[in-house]
């Protein structure tokens, strides 16, 4: 059957259906949850050799060994600070949930970003700013543009590892060794290593095309 036909059939399902997840040929999938009201369509046809691990329950935390095996330090490059493995990390090691402030609504997010940009501009003019990132560099969307996690404040705390401190690397490059996984009902974003990470390696994940849209010349 064709994808368009499948899509129409799913829309016409009875209202009492609360959720579904359907895997389609070629790595494509459709899923829906009535709790969030979001229909997710994954049309990626890229075949992955290893499946992405499922997101754990929201109260799951990385184990102590993992936390002690990651240090935050200056990369010595334009990337600024980054997270580095101080011990080898096995494939699919759970690194934690993306931490930050939950923001519901694009307008509320825009207000936060404008105010932060004003504060950063003032700090820079006074010569007291550092390389803590841009005003909207730490925002993740949970549902395509309605609900967001703003991790800016968490990323300023470098005393303890958080996925908000991970730098970017294109997914097709060897340096991309982490992956993000959206929780099934869209309530959080979990991070894992996607291969064995050697001692001394920096942990990075692909921020996605939307992050770099309009600022491709700034891509690191």
- pLDDT tens-digit readout, 117-167: 999 998 888 877 665 568 889 999 998 889 999 999 999 999 999 999 999
**Whole-model pTM?**
0.76
- CA atoms of 193 and 165, how far apart (whole Å): 14
Determine the 3-state secondary structure of 126 from DSSP.
coil
Q: Which residue, 93, 85, 96, 73, is CA-closest to 198?
A: 85
Burial of 8 (0-12, 13-18, 19+ CB in 10 A): exposed
Higher pLDDT, 129 or 17: 129
Whether residue 54 has pLDDT greater than 70 = yes
Measured on CA atoms in the order 109, 133, 186, 26, is the torsion positive or negative? positive
Whether residue 204 has pLDDT greater than 50 = yes
Residues 6+ apart with CB under 8 A from 102: 147, 148, 149
For the chain, percent of residues with pLDDT exceeding 70: 74
**How would residue 80 be classed by pLDDT, with cut points 50, 70 and 90?**
very high
Supply the pLDDT for residue 218.
74
- CA atoms of 185 and 19, how far apart (whole Å): 9
């Amino acid at each position: 059957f064709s994808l368009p036909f499948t899509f129409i059939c799913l829309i016409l399902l009875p209202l009492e259906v609360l959720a579904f997840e359907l895997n389609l040929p070629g790595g494509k999938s459709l899923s829906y949850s009535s709790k969030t009201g979001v229909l997710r369509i994954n049309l990626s046809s890229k075949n992955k050799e290893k499946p992405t691990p499922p997101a754990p329950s929201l109260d799951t935390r990385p184990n102590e060994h993992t936390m002690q095996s990651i240090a935050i330090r200056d990369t010595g490059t334009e990337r600024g600070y980054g997270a580095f493995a101080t011990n080898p990390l096995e494939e699919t090691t759970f690194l934690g949930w993306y931490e930050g402030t939950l923001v519901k609504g694009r307008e509320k997010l825009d207000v936060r970003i404008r105010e932060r940009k004003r504060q950063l501009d003032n700090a820079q003019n006074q010569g007291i700013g550092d390389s803590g990132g841009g005003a909207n560099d730490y925002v993740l969307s949970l549902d395509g543009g309605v609900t967001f996690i703003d991790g800016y404040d968490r990323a300023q705390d470098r005393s303890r590892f958080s996925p908000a401190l991970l730098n970017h690397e294109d997914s097709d490059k060897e340096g991309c060794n982490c992956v993000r996984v959206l929780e099934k009902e869209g309530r959080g974003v979990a991070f894992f290593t996607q291969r064995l990470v050697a001692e001394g390696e920096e942990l990075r994940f692909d921020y996605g095309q939307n992050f770099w849209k309009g600022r491709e010349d700034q891509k690191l």
